[in-house]
Amino acid sequence: MTDIFGVPIAVLLGQLLLGLINGSFYALLSLGLAIIFGMLNVINFAHGAFYMLGGFAAWLLLTALGLGYWETLFAAPLMVGALGAVVERLFLKRLYRVDHLYSLLLTFGIALMLEGLFRHVFGAAGKPYPIPSSLTGGINLGFMFLPMYRAWVIVASLTVCVITWLVIERTKLGAYLRASTENPGLVQAFGINVPLMLTMTYAFCVGLAGFAGALAAPLYQVSPGMGSSVIIVVFAVVVIGGMGSIGGAIVTALALGIIEGLTKTFYPAASSIAVFVVMVLVILIRPSGLFSREA
């Protein structure tokens, strides 16, 4: 077996694959965070909690209602998105006119409450969620073994990310969204229901987090703390990519997943801080983020 700096290629590729999977989840989550920040000007600290809710929704639909994997993968994001719409209508929309800090504190509070509630009801331990039978097994690529479910996670999340990006950058609806970040009053004066669009945007992005949670359930188990452990890294991703840059969030997420994987291979002790070291460097050199429009 060939080695690279004393690391067998198979191990290296395995870590790269793990990095890519983590990166896929970072991408789904940071994409939503970046859109919410860009369109609503809200730093959505509740994003991790919605990810956790997506996982729990999938688990509950499976264990309580006996729904299959594909149905839950579809239903869980819808449920989380609907809850997001309620949160936006009841609370967030009252805070658009005041400083960022208010919505940050609100969403942080929502995250703490949701996590506490689920810890109280379901306990802190992880709930196992079986890999669907259609995605068990794997493919032997010759140089490594690729589990089917992991391949599916990468394909599914990248597809969703790319479609979202295309909708925002290339469609009329996306043009309304982009223009609303510049001048919501004028977009409204042209006859477009901007408040409704903001509600749908929040619901959709939070639904993406729910989708990520449901997708993660068979890989990482479902637990009340699963959101808070990933959300900090996701925030770092958004800061590195540039707050509000949607394409930047996707690219940065994947790149950082891979950097994390590589660090795990060559210097495992540093793997949990690799993302933050990158963040510090980016803030020093290009404070507005790698992909932000204003340099």
Partner 1 sequence: MAETPLLDVKGLEAWYGESHVLHGIDFDVRKGEVVTLIGRNGAGKTTTLRSLIGVVGKRRGACSYKGADLLKVAPHKVARLGIGYVPEERGIFSSLTVLENLLFPPAWQAGGMAVDEIYGLFPNLKGRDSTSGTRLSGGEQQMLAIGRILRTGADFILLDEPTEGIAPVIIEEIGAALRILKDRGMTIILVEQNLRFAASIADRHYVLDQGTVVDEISNNALDANMDRLNRYLGV
277, 261 contact by CB (below 8 A): no
Q: Minimum CB separation from partner 1 for residue 20, in Å? A: 31
Q: Binding residue for partner 1 (CB under 8 A) from 134, 193, 229, 272? A: 193
The tokens of 222 are what? 């479902």
For 55, 155, 167, the CA distances from 177, given in Å and listed in that order, are 29, 26, 10
Q: Minimum CB separation from partner 1 for residue 41, in Å? A: 16
Q: Does 6 bind partner 1 (CB under 8 A)?
A: no
The window from 103-111, 144-152, 191-199, 202-210 that contacts partner 1 (CB under 8 A) reads 191-199
DSSP state of 7: E
The tokens of 266 are what? 């060559």
Q: Binding residue for partner 1 (CB under 8 A) from 5, 190, 285, 295? A: 190
Q: Binding residue for partner 1 (CB under 8 A) from 175, 270, 277, 280? A: 175
Using CB atoms within 10 Å of the CB of residue 77, give its burial: 0 to 12 exposed, 13 to 18 middle, 19+ buried: buried
Q: Which of 217, 256, 209, 214 is nearest to 237 (CA)?
A: 256
Q: Does 142 bind partner 1 (CB under 8 A)?
A: no
Q: Does 185 bind partner 1 (CB under 8 A)?
A: yes
| Closer Cβ to partner 1, 95 or 215, answer by number | 95
The window from 148-156, 170-178, 247-255, 268-276 that contacts partner 1 (CB under 8 A) reads 170-178
The tokens of 219 are what? 């890989």
| Helical segments of 41-68, H only | 47-63
Q: Does 179 bind partner 1 (CB under 8 A)?
A: yes
Q: Does 63 bind partner 1 (CB under 8 A)?
A: no
Q: Does 192 bind partner 1 (CB under 8 A)?
A: yes
| Integer Cα distance of 81 and 231 in angstroms | 18
The tokens of 112 are what? 């703490």
Q: How far apart are the first and last CA of the chain?
A: 45
| Closer Cβ to partner 1, 228 or 288, answer by number | 288
The window from 54-62, 79-87, 171-179, 276-284 that contacts partner 1 (CB under 8 A) reads 171-179
Please identify which residue in the block is written with the tokens 């789904």.
28
The contact set with partner 1 (CB under 8 A) reads 175-176, 178-179, 181-183, 185-186, 188-195
